Amino acid sequence: MKNKLILNLSIEFGPILAFLIASELLSFVKATAIFVALTAMALVVGYIERRELAWFPVIVSASIIGFGLLTIILDSPFFFIIKDTIYNAAFAIVLFTGLYFGHPLLKPLFKEVFSISDRGWKIMSLRWAVLFTLLTIANEIARISLTPDEWVIFKGFATVTTTVFAFYQLRVSKKERLPNATKWGLKIVRE
């Protein structure tokens, strides 16, 4: 269990931590190359570990790899920095659109992780849509006003903020959990 937790944390946070550290030691483009390589490796290891690929990690990885390769090939931090604006804006629009039409679109992305009520999915979708909107605005301000090296520091704070926000959402999943869930609303997995 402990080894599995360490592996999952490494898959989720290893590439971004390596990017933040490498950015202090190497150029932005070289740090991006490390991030791209480790993201691809994490996706493969995640697939080997779980025998399936969830949609959300695939979408995140595709954006990192795609914009990262543009940054490397064109030797320009612009593409990797603008990735966060495009990615966050796209998710905000998708989530708000889903809510407008009565479909909390976090549910299909995370239905294998959480077992919560439709009300819970709506609350979480709305909260994430608002967060993604705020991250879009903050990234644009940072992109315009900061150097690439300064943006990396902003990225670190944005990553920590997003992680803390994600853990805070466990309060919703706990409150809105279904009978077949853990006390935190997580889906019970039988091995």
Token pair of 154, please?
């902003």
Task: Answer yes or no: are the C-beta atoms of 125 and 95 closer than 8 Å.
Answer: yes
64 and 127 inside one domain: no
151: containing domain: 76-191
99 and 59 inside one domain: no
- CB neighbourhood size of 75 (10 A): 9
DSSP for residue 146: S
Which whole-number Å values give the CA distances from 15 to 31, 37, 39, 68, 99, in the listed order? 10, 8, 6, 12, 32
The per-residue pLDDT for range 84-111, each reduced to its tens digit, is 999 999 999 999 999 999 999 999 888 8
pLDDT at 173 over 80: yes
Token pair of 110, please?
């995370």
45 and 138 inside one domain: no
CA distance 38 to 183: 33
What is the reported pTM? 0.88
CA distance 62 to 51: 19
**Considering 74, 100, 132, which residue would you say is the last residue of a domain?**
74
34 and 95 inside one domain: no
Query: What are the E-state strand segments in 24-180?
Result: none
**Considering 11, 44, 74, which residue would you say is the last residue of a domain?**
74
122 and 145 inside one domain: yes
47 and 89 inside one domain: no
48 and 82 inside one domain: no
116 and 168 inside one domain: yes
Token pair of 156, please?
């670190």
89 and 179 inside one domain: yes
- Return mean pLDDT, the chain: 90
**Considering 31, 51, 74, which residue would you say is the last residue of a domain?**
74
Task: Give the number of domains in the chain.
Answer: 2
91 and 69 inside one domain: no
CA distance 10 to 91: 24
CA distance 92 to 127: 10
60 and 153 inside one domain: no
62 and 105 inside one domain: no
Point out the least confidently predicted range of 23-37, 63-77, 170-184.
170-184
DSSP for residue 47: H
The per-residue pLDDT for range 121-164, each reduced to its tens digit, is 999 999 999 999 999 999 999 999 999 999 999 999 999 999 99
